[in-house]
Amino acid sequence: MNLAFAAVNGALKIGPTMSQMQNVERQLREMILGLEIGPGERLTERWIESRFGASRTPVRAALLRLETEGLIGRDGRGWTVAPINLAELGQIAVYREAVEVAAVRLTAALEDRGGIELIAAMLDSCDAETPREEWHRVGLDFHIELARLSGNEFLLRAVRDAMTRLSRARWLEVRDEKALGRAWAEHHAILAAVRSGDAEQAAQLLSAHIAGSRDRLVTSLHDDRRGLRARGFAVVAA
């Protein structure tokens, strides 16, 4: 079973019967997260309408939902793809630390922690041959699936929301193989602590992981901000 697919499928209801609104929402989200539409770019309902072959009714519904996800915002009397906001990334790190640590503490206290092995398998499915997209996806899904194990819908939703908002920034981050390996090792260390039921250890490792991740991310984007702006991406300073 593919955990990641289950997650996506559960959230988005991919299937033969998908409404126009879900269709537009999904495709538009993918274009934004995949940076096919750059941060800061203007969106018009008419453009989306013609781009996806749906009328304005489902387009507007999709825009409203993406707004609540923080992927787009209102710019006066129009829609704008959310810019990369370095200050916001710092706040998100604090937020996700709170909810992820709470979730991992809950999970470590559970009796049935078998789900951990599925997450470990997901991590192990990545190797040197794995494309960068896959590393990126697994890196996000690790935290989401870990939160899911807690069984708390609200912690899960919060983590998923945070990872969605971090997704583009993490994609833009320049990460060398060493950084990828370190993250991989840290993920496994967290899993080991949870597996052994050591909530305190798991919490500390996770906190450190999130803090380090935030520092590397903000530093990388801060250093690259000129290049990012040159690509037409709106970057808001910390």
Q: Which residues lie near DNA (CB under 7 A)?
A: 19-21, 43-47, 54-58, 60-61, 74, 76-79
Which residue, among 170, 183, 145, 181, has the nearest Cα to 92 in the 3D structure? 170
Q: Is 106 in the site for its own copies (CB under 8 A)?
A: yes
**In whole angstroms, what is the distance from residue 216 CA to residue 77 CA?**
36
Burial of 92 (0-12, 13-18, 19+ CB in 10 A): buried
Decide which of DNA, its own copies, none touches 76; Cβ closer than 5 to 8 Å per partner kind: DNA
Q: Is 98 in the site for its own copies (CB under 8 A)?
A: yes
Residue from 102, 146, 163, 193 binding its own copies (CB under 8 A):
102
Phi/psi at 234 (nearest 5 deg)?
-75, 125
Residue list 135-174, contact with its own copies (CB under 8 A): 152-155, 158, 162
C-beta of 102 vs 205, nearer to its own copies: 102
C-beta of 17 vs 112, nearer to DNA: 17
Contacts of 183 (CB under 8 A, 6+ apart): 139, 209, 213
How many chain residues are in contact with its own copies, going by CB under 8 A? 23
Helix (H) or strand (E) holding 230: helix 225-230
Quote the least distance from Cβ 123 to its own copies, whole Å: 25
DSSP string, 1-39: --HHHHHHHHHH--SS---HHHHHHHHHHHHHHTTSS-T
Decide which of its own copies, DNA, none touches 46; Cβ closer than 5 to 8 Å per partner kind: DNA
Which residues make up the interface to its own copies (CB under 8 A)?
A: 57, 60-61, 64-65, 68, 88, 91-92, 94-95, 97-99, 101-102, 106, 152-155, 158, 162
